[in-house]
Amino acid sequence: MMKRSDTLAASSFLGPATCVVMLVLIAPLVLLARYSLNRFDPTELMIEATTGANYARFFSEAFYWEVMRTTIQVALLVTALCLLLGLPLAWRLSRMTSRWKSPLLLLIILPLFVSSTVRTVGWMILFAKSGVMDTTAATLFGRHIDLMFTPTAVVIGTLSVNLPFMVLTLQTVFDGIDHRLSEAASGLGAPPARAFLRIIWPLALPGVGIAAILCFILGMNAYATPVLLGGPRFQMMAPLLFWEFNTNSNWPFSAALAFILMGTTLLLTTLANTVIPRRYRA
């Protein structure tokens, strides 16, 4: 049992960090929650009130539901693709013993050195009409590819942003699983696929869940990629929120949108956690 002095010592270490979190995260959220209950006025900007009208507006209009549906679809699709591409990559990296492991890991990390907006501009050059992809396709196949301002462009762009997070998380998870376990399974006659599915996969599942949730959250909150690669006609929640804040100066409604987006993401990640069998949860 922990002694009283130990508890005090632990508290004194945790105290400063807790205070910082309270100050820079919780306090603005409380303020934002208060704003979301105010009324918007084009002249006054915001009139103090306690109304649920901003939330009611979102839930009563099909337009906003559709934007939320698009956001969830993109986030889910990107997460699934990240898993599909990231799992084998992370597994191979984890089991690699050659001197190439570190350079390869660096290659995965390197994109994170560049901001996602700059990377998206790179995609814009690739996807643009008469851009690299369009010109190559026209030269090789005699057909033009117009990917700019399409949902495909948004999914590819978001995938490129999220994939390093998925690979790095999964690689750490696989690194934490003892190599000898799969060797023991092989020794007992299990083929590699069976050894992976029966031994490695259940052990990796909590970590895979965390990586998927991380990727899903990033997808739900994507802003620069949908704006730059999707164009004004492709609507997701974060750009919509910014439109209300920036174009309309409607702080109360954009605050409500922020809470709805946050609430939906939390709800879906909690639901996702229930999909993982209880005994495998982190």
Partner 1 sequence: MRDAPKSALTRRGVLAGSTLLAAPAILIGAKAKAAETFILGTWGGDYQRLQMENIEMPIARAQGIESVIDAGDEAPRAAKIMASRRLPRGQMDVACVQAVQAYALAEAGALEEITPAKVPNIVHCQDGLATATFVPHIWSPQILSYSPERVKTPPTSFEDLLDPKYKGRVGFPDANFFYVMMAAGLFAGGSASNFEKAKEIVSKLNTNELRLYPSTDSAGPPFKTGELDVGVMWLARIAMWQNAGIPVAASFPKEGCILYVSGMVVPKNAPNKEAAFKYLNAMLEPAAQLGFAKNMGYLPTVTNAKLTGKVAEQLALPTPPPKLVVPDAAVNSKALPEIADWWKKTIQHT
Interacting residue ranges for partner 1, rule: CB under 8 A:
40, 42-46, 63, 66, 124, 128-130, 227-228, 231-233, 235, 240, 243, 245-251
Which residue lies nearer to partner 1 by CB, 42 or 103?
42
Which residue lies nearer to partner 1 by CB, 173 or 224?
224
Task: For the CB of residue 199, give the shortest distance to partner 1 in the complex, in Å.
Answer: 48
Task: For the CB of residue 130, give the shortest distance to partner 1 in the complex, in Å.
Answer: 4
> 161 burial class (0-12, 13-18, 19+ CB within 10 angstroms)?
buried
Task: For the CB of residue 70, give the shortest distance to partner 1 in the complex, in Å.
Answer: 10
Which residue lies nearer to partner 1 by CB, 128 or 268?
128
Task: For the CB of residue 144, give the shortest distance to partner 1 in the complex, in Å.
Answer: 11
Which residue lies nearer to partner 1 by CB, 40 or 165?
40
Considering only CA atoms, give the Rg of the chain.
Answer: 23
* Dihedrals phi, psi of 84, to nearest 5 degrees: -60, -45
Which residue lies nearer to partner 1 by CB, 91 or 253?
253
Report yes or no: 219 and 157 within 8 Å, Cβ to Cβ.
Answer: no
Q: Taking CA 235 as the corner, what is the angle to CA 231 and CA 241, rounded to the nearest 5 degrees?
A: 110
Which residue lies nearer to partner 1 by CB, 77 or 128?
128
Task: For the CB of residue 258, give the shortest distance to partner 1 in the complex, in Å.
Answer: 15
The residue with tokens 């507006």 is 57
Task: For the CB of residue 247, give the shortest distance to partner 1 in the complex, in Å.
Answer: 5
Q: Taking CA 263 as the corner, what is the angle to CA 257 and CA 268, rounded to the nearest 5 degrees?
A: 125
Distances, alpha carbon 32 to alpha carbons 44, 55, 57, 230, in Å = 18, 13, 17, 28
> 82 burial class (0-12, 13-18, 19+ CB within 10 angstroms)?
buried
